[in-house]
Amino acid sequence: MYQGILAVHSLLRWVILFLFIINIANSLVEADMPYTKKDKSWNLRLLIVVHLNLLTGLYQYFFGPKGFIYFTDKVNYPDIGYVMKTPELRFWAVEHILGMIIAVVIITLTRRIAKNDNLEPGPKNKKLAIMYTVALVIILACIPWPFRISGAEWFRGVGL
Domains identified in the chain, total number? 1
Let me know if residue 30 belongs to a domain: yes
For 26-50, b/e burial (b = at least 16 CB within 10 A) is bbeeeeeeebeeebeebbebbbebb
Specify if 75 maps to a domain: yes
Residue 160 lies inside a defined structural domain of this protein: no
Is 159 inside any structural domain? no
Does residue 94 fall inside a structural domain?
A: yes
Backbone φ/ψ region at 34: left (φ over 0), alpha (ψ -120 to 50), beta: beta
Q: How far apart (Å, rounded) are the C-alpha atoms in residues 40 and 19?
A: 12
Give residue 62's domain range: 2-142
Give residue 118's pLDDT band: very low, low, confident or very high (50, 70, 90). Answer: confident
- Report d(CA 97, CA 54) in Å as an integer: 9
Sign of CA dihedral 142, 148, 154, 159: negative
In a domain, 155, yes or no: no
- Note the pLDDT tens digit of each residue in 43-100: 999 999 999 999 999 999 999 888 888 888 887 888 888 889 988 889 999 999 999 9
CA–CA gap between residue 56 and residue 59 (Å, rounded): 5
Answering whether pTM is above 0.85, one says yes
